[in-house]
Amino acid sequence: MPVLTISRFVEKKGLSHALEAINIAREEMPNLEYHIIGSGEQKSELTQKVKELEISQNVNFLTNVSDERLISELDSARCFLLPCVIAESGDRDGIPVAMMEAMAMKTPVISTTISGIPELVDHKQSGLLTEPGDVEATADALISLLGDTSKWESYGEEARKKVVTDFNIEKEAMKLEQTFKNARAESE
pLDDT for the residue 46: 96
Cα gap 63→83, rounded to integer Å: 20
User: CATH no. for residue 180?
Assistant: 3.40.50.2000
Q: What is the DSSP letter of 71?
A: H
Domain interval for residue 130 = 2-187
pLDDT for the residue 175: 65
pLDDT for the residue 119: 93
Cα gap 113→149, rounded to integer Å: 24
Q: Which of 42, 29, 38, 40 is nearest to 2 (CA)?
A: 29
Q: Which of 100, 102, 96, 87 is nearest to 41 (CA)?
A: 87
pLDDT for the residue 183: 72
pLDDT for the residue 182: 75
pLDDT for the residue 63: 86
Q: What is the pLDDT along the chain (188 residues), one digit of tens a residue?
A: 799 999 999 999 999 999 999 999 999 999 999 999 999 999 999 999 999 999 999 999 998 899 999 999 999 999 999 999 999 999 998 899 999 999 999 999 999 999 999 999 999 999 999 999 999 999 999 999 999 989 989 999 999 999 988 876 666 566 667 777 777 777 76
Cα gap 91→93, rounded to integer Å: 7
Q: What is the pLDDT of residues 90-133, one digit of tens each?
A: 999 889 999 999 999 999 999 999 999 999 999 999 999 999 99
Q: Would the CA dihedral through 65, 68, 74, 76 be positive or negative?
A: negative
pLDDT for the residue 25: 97
Structural domains in the chain (count): 1
